[in-house]
Amino acid sequence: MFSNTFPLWPTRASTLSGQVDALFIFLLMLCGLVCISIFIAIVVFAIRYRRRPGHRATQIEGSNAVEFTWTTIPAGIFVIIFVWGAYIYFQERTPPKDSMDVYTVAKQWMWKFQHTEGQREINELHVPIGRDVRVIMTSQDVIHSFYVPAFRIKQDVLPGRYTIAWFHATRAGTYHLFCAEYCGTNHSGMIGDVVVMEPAQFQTWLSGGQPMGSLSQQGQGLFQSLGCSTCHRLDTQGRGPNLMGVFGKPVLLEDGRTVTADENYVRESILSPAAKVVSGFKPIMPTFQGIVSEEQLNALVAYVKSLSAQPTGAGQTPTFRGPAGAKADTRQR
Amino acid sequence: MATTAVATPERENYLNKEYGITSWLFTTDHKRIALLYLITITFFFFIGGFFALLIRLELLTPEGDLLLADTYNKMFTMHGQVMIFFFLIPAVPAVLGNFLIPIMIGAKDLAFPRINLLSWYLLAIGGCLMIYTILSGGVDTGWTFYTPLSTHFLDTHVIAAALAIFIAGFSSILTGLNFIVTIHRMRAPGMTWARLPLFVWANYATSIIQVLGTPVLAITLMMVAMERIFNLGIFNPQLGGDPLLFQHLFWFYSHPAVYIMILPGMGVVSEIVTCFSHKRIFGYKAMALAVIAIAVLGFLVWAHHMFVAGISLYAAMVFSLLSYFVAVPSAIKVFNWTSTMFKGSVSYATPMLYAFGFIGLFTMGGLTGLFLAALGIDVHVTDTYFVVAHFHYIMVGGMVMAYLGGMHFWWPKISGRMYPEFWGRLAAMIIFIGFNLTFFPQFVLGYLGMPRRYWQYSPEFQVLNVLSTAGATILAVGYLLPMVYFLWSMRYGKPAPDNPWNAAGLEWKISSPPSTFNFDETPIVTWEAYNYDEIPQEVPVGR
Amino acid sequence: MADSPPAIATHNPDLQHHFATMEQQTEAAVMGMWVFLITEIMFFGGMFAGYMIYRFMYYQAWLEGSQHMDFWWGTINTVVLLCSSLTMAAAVRATQLGLRKSTVTLLGITILFGLAFLGIKAIEYYGHIVTDHQFPGPGFRFEGANPSQVEMFFSFYFAMTGFHALHMLIGVGLVAFIAYHAWKGRYGAHYYTPVENVGLYWHFVDIIWIYLYPLFYLISHIHRK
C-alpha cells in the first residue's frame, strides 16, 4: 500500500482479488462498527455507572424482546455475509471452460510446472495477462498448498489425486507463490514467483524452444512406449475402451455408477485400474503405479484430454486423431 | 501458613489440615487437587511460553538465523501442543472448576473424588511424556499432525507426543465425566438448574464437549501411531488411504476443543461482571442456553478448517453456513455482559479489568471468525497469520485473560489472602497492551499473505513482525508479574475475609480458605442466582 | 466450626462421605458409568466412521476381505459373548438378591466365556497373521485384485477387533475383581453398585462385538465349508 518495504495491503493482480477485497473491506467496516459500539458502550457504562456512594445498581432481569432482536439481526447479517462469501468461493472453485492448463507437481520442497506447450519450470510460473489459467496439481509426497496472495487464491495440493485452482491475471508483474500447508523442514523455503506477462511477451517466452514437444505430445509418446495403445486402440475397438472423445464425458461403470471422465478419473484409471471398470469391459488392465512419475501422469492426462479437445488456444491442438469416421464406443454414455 | 499480626490461632482449613507431600499427592479433596492442577498447568504455561519467545525472536529477522529450520518447526509444534493440551484445556475447568463447582452447588466434593485425583495423575503422566518428547529431540508435525507428513515423512518423536496427548485426553474426559455427574446429582436442596451460577452452566457445557469429542481425538492419534508402527496406510494415498480422512477425524474433536477452551472462561466472566456491576446477569436464561447452543453447534462446523483442503464445494458451503450459526450465541453473550453493566454499580478491581479485556478482545477475535467463515475470504487468509491472530485473540486475549481474572477473583477464597491490588491492575494493563501489540499486526501480516509456520519470510513482512515480537516481550513481563505477587501474597498478603467482593454465590458464604468439607451444614437454597438486590453493596473494593 | 462431616442417623458403611444418601451415591455411580460408555461409543465411533468411508469406496475389496474371515469362529464367538452377557446379567440379579454363591458362580462363568472369546480370537489372529500373512504392513500378502484395498480392510479388522479384545481383557479383569470381592461377601442387597457397573461395561463391550460381527464376517457372506 505505502511502499514495498512496509506494505499494509496486498497487491491486486487477478479478477478475484477485487471481489475478495470488497467483502473484506465490508467486513472490516461492519466489524469495526460493532467493536467500537461495544467498546463505547462498555466505557460509557463503566464510567456512568461507576460505583460511588449513594449510587445503587438497578436489578434488571432481562428482556425476551431484546434477546430476540439481537439474535435475529446478527443472524440475518451473517446469512448475507455467508451468501456473499459463498458466491466468491463458487467462482473460485469453478474454473472457466477453456482455461489454459498448467500441470503442477509439488514436492518437498519445490514447485514443478509443466505447460501444455511443453515448457517446464521450477519455482517459477509464467502466465499471460487476460487468460484464464488453471493449475492442475498433485503432490509427490505430503500435502502442500498453492498460494498466490496477489490473486487471493489458495488450494491444497494432495498426494494421490489432482486438485485444481484457477485465476485470471490482470496486472503484469512478479508475485509471490508460497506453500501454505506445513510440509516439513523447508516449508518456508518452498516459495516461488508467478510471472505475469503481456500476451506478446508471453508468446515470445513460450516459443523459447521445447525439444520435447508439447505436453500432450509427450503423453502420446508415453502412450505408445508404455503399451497403452495395444489395448486402447484409437482406430478400432480393442480390449480397452476407446479413448477418443472420452474426456469430460460421463462414463458408465461396471457396477452401475456413472462418473465423469475428468483428470482424477484418468489418473485413477492408470494407477488403480480396477477401481472403476467401464461397463462391458473386464478388469484386466495392469496398474502403472510405481511405473509412471507424476510428470508422466500429467503428460498422459494431457494426451487423453487432447483426444477430446475442440480446437482452442495455443497448445491444445491434438496431434492424433483416428481415421475419419471413427466413432466413440457406444457403450460409453 | 503464616499467621496474621494478631495472635489468634489459625482456623483449620483445607490447606493446613494436613501437611506433607503424601497428603497432597494422595488427596481426594477437590480443592487440593485444584491446586495440584494449578502447579502443573502453570509449569506448562511457562514451557509453552518459552517456545513462543523463541519463535518470536526468530521472526525478528526475515532470514532463519537464530534456529535451524527443523528446530523452529519443533518450536511451533510444541508451543501449540503444550499450550492447548497441557494449559488451555485443563486451565479453568481443572483449577477453578474443580475448586468451585462443588462449593457453588452446595456439595462437599465432586461425585468421584478418586477419579478426580486420577485425572490429575493422567495429566501429570501425559505431561512427563511430553517433557520426555521435548528433551529427547522434540516433534515437528505441527500441532495438527496432518498426514501423510506425520505418518510417513518425519522421524521425530511423533508417537511419544501423540501418546502424551492421548493420556492427557483421558484426563480431560474423566474431568468432564466427573463434572456432569456432579452437576446432575450433587446439587444441594433448592439448588435447581435455574439457580445455578453461570460458571456451573459453562463448565457443564464444556464437560459435554469433553466427553463426546475427546475420545475421537484419542482414536485418531491411536491410528496415527499404528500407521507409523505398522505402516498401515489408512491415511496414505500410496496404499489407498485418504489423508483427508485424518483431517475430518482430527477436526471433529479439535474444533469443539476450542469451545472446551473458551466456554469455562465465559463462565468466569459472567461471575466477574455480575459481581463488579453488583447486578444480576442480564438474560440468565439466554446465557445458559447460549453455552449449551455453543456446545451443540460446535460439533457441526469442523470442516471450516478444510475449505481449501479438497472437500467438495457444497460441503464447504454447508460448513460455512453452520459456522455462522455457531457465532450467534457467542454474540448474544457479549451483548448480555455489556447490558449487565448498564445501570449497574461498576467497580474496577483487577478481576473486572480482566473481564473488560476479555469482552473487548474476545469480541475482536470472534468477529474475525466471521471473516474466516466467509468462504471467499478464507481461501485467501487460511493458513496465514490471519488465522494465527484470530485464535490467539480468542485463546489468549479471551481465555487467558478470563483465567487470570478468575484467579484474581477467587484468589482470596483459594488462598485466604488478598493479592496486591495495584500490581494486579498494573499487570492487567501491561498484558492488555502487550497482547494487542503482539497479535494485531498479525492480522495485517495474514491478509498481506504471510503464511503461518514460516521459519523465514519475505523481507516486506519484517516491520510487522518486529512489532509483534516487541509486544510479546511486554506480554511476557505481564505474565510474570502475577506469578510473583501471587506467591508473595501467600506469605505477606492481607488475610482475606469470607466475602471481600460482596459477591453472590455459595462460595462466598463459607470461609476463606474453606474447610475441607466446605460446608458445616448442607445449605438449603431458596434464592435465585446473582441475588445482588439482597446483598449489600459497598464503596469501591480494593485500593 | 466443626469441619467433620455431619452425622447421619443410620449410616450404610458403604456410603462415601461426600454423598448425602446411598441413593444419591448409587445414582451417581451408575450415571458415571453411562457417561463413560458414551465416551467409549465415541472412541469406537472414529473407527466405525473410517470403516464406513472405506467400505463405500472399496466395496469389492471389503466383500473379498469378508470372505477370508473365519465365519464359524466368529459366529461361535458371538454366541459366547451373548451367553456371557446373560450370565453377567444374572450375576447382577443374584447380587441384588443377596445370593453370594450364585453371584460368584455366575461371575466365574462369565469370566470363562470371556476367556473363551479371547482364546478363539487368538486362534483367528494366528490364522490371519501367521498362516495367511494378512497382517497389514510389509508382510502382507494377497493374491487377487486390489491388494492394497484388501489390506485396508484388514487394517480396520485388526484395529477394531484389537481394541475390542483389549476392552474384553480389561472387562475380564474387572469381572475377576468383582468376583473376588463378591466371594468375600462385600456385596449384597444393600450395596451392589460395582457389580451393576461392571455389568454395564460388559454389556457394552458385547454390543460393540454385535456390530463388529456382521460388519466384518457377514458382508454378502456366502457360506463356505
Predicted local distance difference test score (pLDDT) of residue B539: 55
Residues 104-123 of B with CB under 8 A from C: 107-113, 115
For A281-290, B452-461, C210-219, which range has the lowest pLDDT when averaged over its residues? A281-290
- How does residue A328 score in pLDDT terms, banded at 50, 70 and 90? very low
Identify the chains in contact with A, defined as 3+ C-beta pairs within 8 A: B, C
In angstroms, the CA C184 to CA C188 distance is: 11
Find all residues with CB under 8 Å of A224, minimum gap 6, and list them.
none
Predicted local distance difference test score (pLDDT) of residue B542: 47
In a domain, B16, yes or no: no
Region A266-291 average pLDDT: 88
The beta strand positions in A15-109, using DSSP E, are 100-107
CB A196 within 8 A of CB A127: yes
Integer CA distances (angstroms), A318 to A210, A216, A223, in order:
17, 7, 14
Integer CA distances (angstroms), A215 to A221, A224, A296, C8, in order:
10, 14, 9, 88
Find all residues with CB under 8 Å of A254, minimum gap 6, and list them.
A277, A278, A279, A280, A281, A283
Predicted local distance difference test score (pLDDT) of residue A37: 96
In angstroms, the CA B318 to CA A52 distance is: 51
Domain with residue B254: its CATH number is 1.20.210.10
Integer CA distances (angstroms), C127 to A5, C122, C131, in order:
68, 9, 5
Q: Cβ C145–A274 below 8 Å, yes or no?
A: yes
CB A304 within 8 A of CB A204: no
Q: A82, A80, A169: which is closest to B307 by C-alpha?
A: A82
Counting one residue from B and one from C, how many pairs have CB atoms under 8 Å apart? 130
Predicted local distance difference test score (pLDDT) of residue C30: 95
Q: Cβ B177–C136 below 8 Å, yes or no?
A: no
Residues 149-188 of B with CB under 8 A from C: 173, 177-178, 180-182, 184-186
Q: Is the dihedral of CA B501, B505, B506, B509 positive or negative?
A: positive
> What residues in C contact A283, CB-CB < 8 Å?
145
The order of strands in the sheet holding A124-128 is A124-128, A191-197, A173-179, A144-148, A153-157
> What residues in C contact A275, CB-CB < 8 Å?
58, 146
Q: Per residue in B21-45, is it b (16+ CB within 10 Å) or e — as a string?
A: eeeeeebbbbbbbbbbbbebbbbbb
In angstroms, the CA B204 to CA A19 distance is: 43
Q: Cβ C6–B231 below 8 Å, yes or no?
A: no
Identify the chains in contact with C, defined as 3+ C-beta pairs within 8 A: A, B
Q: How many CB atoms lie within 10 A of CB B534?
A: 9
> What residues in B contact C54, CB-CB < 8 Å?
242
Q: A183, C184, C148: which is closest to B69 by C-alpha?
A: A183
In angstroms, the CA C216 to CA C65 distance is: 8
In a domain, B539, yes or no: no
Residue B515 belongs to domain spanning: 28-534
For residue A139, report the phi and psi dihedrals to the nearest 5 degrees.
Answer: -115, 145
Compute the radius of gyration of chain B from its Cα atoms. Answer: 23
Q: How many CB atoms lie within 10 A of CB A324?
A: 5
In a domain, B178, yes or no: yes
Integer CA distances (angstroms), B468 to B53, B60, B74, B436, B463, in order:
11, 9, 20, 9, 9
More confident of the two residues A4 and C217: C217
Distance from CA of C144 to the nearest CA of A (A): 11
Provide the β-strand partners of residue A168. Answer: A132
Q: Cβ A275–C145 below 8 Å, yes or no?
A: no
In a domain, B299, yes or no: yes
Integer CA distances (angstroms), A71 to A63, A78, A93, A189, in order:
12, 11, 32, 46
In a domain, B345, yes or no: yes
In a domain, B11, yes or no: no
Chain A, nearest residue to B531 by Cα: A59
In a domain, B8, yes or no: no
Predicted local distance difference test score (pLDDT) of residue A208: 74
Residue spans of the domains in chain C: they are 47-217
Distance from CA of C87 to the nearest CA of A (A): 46
Q: Inform me whether the C-beta atom of residue A283 falls under 8 Å from chain C C-beta atoms.
A: yes
Question: Checking DSSP bridges between strand A132-139 and strand A100-107, what pairing results, if any?
Answer: parallel
Predicted local distance difference test score (pLDDT) of residue B3: 45
Rounded to two decimals, the pTM is 0.90
Distance from CA of C225 to the nearest CA of B (A): 31
Burial environment of residue A267 by CB neighbours within 10 A (0 to 12, 13 to 18, 19 or more): buried
Q: Which H or E run contains B23?
A: helix B21-25
- How does residue C95 score in pLDDT terms, banded at 50, 70 and 90? very high
In a domain, B10, yes or no: no
- The domain covering C47-217 belongs, at the CATH homologous superfamily level, to Cytochrome c oxidase, subunit III, four-helix bundle (1.20.120.80)
Among B64, B368, B377, select the one facing A23 at the smallest CB separation: B377
Residue C98 three-state SS: coil
- How many domains does the structure of chain B reveal? 1
Counting one residue from A and one from B, how many pairs have CB atoms under 8 Å apart? 279
What ipTM does the predicted assembly reach?
Answer: 0.92
For residue A243, pLDDT over 70 is answered with yes
Q: Which residue has the cell 447380587?
A: C95
Instruction: Look up residue B409 and give its three cell numbers.
Output: 477473583
**pLDDT of chain B, 543 residues: tens digit per residue:** 444 444 455 788 999 888 999 999 999 999 999 999 999 999 999 999 999 999 999 999 999 899 999 999 999 999 999 999 999 999 999 999 999 999 999 999 999 999 999 999 999 999 999 999 999 999 999 999 999 999 999 999 999 999 999 999 999 999 999 999 999 999 999 999 999 999 999 999 999 999 999 999 999 999 999 999 988 888 988 888 899 999 999 999 999 999 999 999 999 999 999 999 999 999 999 999 999 999 999 999 999 999 999 999 999 999 999 999 999 999 999 999 999 999 999 999 999 999 999 999 999 999 999 999 999 999 999 999 999 999 999 999 999 999 999 999 999 999 999 999 999 999 999 999 999 999 999 999 999 999 999 999 999 999 999 999 999 999 999 999 999 999 999 999 999 999 999 999 999 999 989 999 999 889 999 999 999 988 888 655 443
In angstroms, the CA B111 to CA B109 distance is: 6
Give me the domains of chain A, ranges plus CATH numbers.
Answer: 10-45+65-211 (2.60.40.420), 228-306 (1.10.760.10)
For residue C55, pLDDT over 80 is answered with yes
Q: Cβ A89–B348 below 8 Å, yes or no?
A: no
Integer CA distances (angstroms), B73 to A182, B189, B485, C52, in order:
9, 54, 34, 35
Predicted local distance difference test score (pLDDT) of residue B543: 39
